[in-house]
Amino acid sequence: MDQASRGRPPFPDVLTPAEWRVAEAVRHGLTNRQIAERQGVSLDAVKFHVTNVLQKLSLSNRRALRHWSGVRKQSNVAGRKIQVSEPMQLGRIGQIARTVRDINSATRWYGEVLGLKHLYSFGNISFFECDGTRLFLSEDKNPANSILYFQVQDVHRAHLELIERGVEFINAPHMIHQHDDGTEEWMAFFKDNEGHPLAIIAQAGSRG
């Protein structure tokens, strides 16, 4: 067996699935330790993947990765053309984020006391339905301000047009979650005129 035939066959994308999961988490602003905890892997494994990702993409650091707008080949949005026939407009507020000190207690309170419909939970985050607006709870020992998430049809188009309007983005559009039916959740964070965080979000259904 020659050297070229040893090991795993090359993956047909710029990053492997594990590297994509870590790259998306970095683009979302998570630390290595947070990524390890959420993905159930070791801290060393996360560091290894981050190093490989930066090398493969010829990026100098994590900040550069956060602003890299690449899309995995298997994504529902891969290959889609950005439509610019009509002016881009922000839609209704689709999600509001709130940090809480204890996610288990907060999940019980919002669900049992307020009677909100619980959608799903994983790790230290939980989601509720509020008459068309999604409430996103995440655990943090130092709760911060709430974040408003504006719905858009195409997160990549909105990202480009808002940059042209002078909006400062914190990161590039990235996929943060894929539901069991294949629907993808995409988002990108930006700053308002006083530096407070806002976000645009979009769902991308299966390409069929």
CATH of the domain at 131: 3.10.180.10
Query: Quick one: pLDDT band at residue 80, thresholds 50, 70, 90?
Result: confident
CATH of the domain at 56: 1.10.10.10
Reduce the DSSP state of residue 159 to 3 states and report it.
helix
* Cα torsion through 77, 16, 49, 75, rounded to 10: 10
Report the pLDDT value the prediction gives residue 5, as an integer from 0 to 100: 44
Higher pLDDT, 18 or 81: 18
List the beta bridge partners of residue 2. none
Q: Are strands 147-151 and 93-100 parallel, antiparallel or unpaired?
A: antiparallel
Tell which of 66, 81, 112 closes a domain.
66
Let me know whether 111 and 173 are in one domain: yes
Q: pLDDT tens digits, residue range 90-117?
A: 888 899 998 888 899 999 988 988 888 9
**Helix or strand holding residue 200 (H, E):** strand 197-204
Report the pLDDT value the prediction gives residue 3, as an integer from 0 to 100: 43
Let me know whether 27 and 125 are in one domain: no
Report the pLDDT value the prediction gives residue 195, as an integer from 0 to 100: 82
Q: pLDDT tens digits, residue range 114-160?
A: 888 999 998 889 999 988 899 999 888 777 778 888 889 899 999 99
Contact between 61 and 54 (Cβ < 8 Å): yes
DSSP secondary structure string for all residues of 38-83 = HHT--HHHHHHHHHHHHHHHT--SHHHHHT-----TTSTTTTPPPP
Asked whether the predicted pLDDT for residue 207 surpasses 80, the reply is no
Report the pLDDT value the prediction gives residue 193, as an integer from 0 to 100: 74
Structural domain harbouring 180: 93-204
Let me know whether 179 and 104 are in one domain: yes
Rounded to an integer, the average pLDDT of 173-181 is 91
Q: pLDDT tens digits, residue range 20-62?
A: 999 999 999 999 999 999 899 999 999 999 999 999 999 999 9
Report the pLDDT value the prediction gives residue 2, as an integer from 0 to 100: 45
For residues 64-86, one letter each, b for 16 or more C-beta atoms within 10 angstroms of the residue's C-beta and e for the rest, the string is ebbebebbbeebbbeeeeeeeee
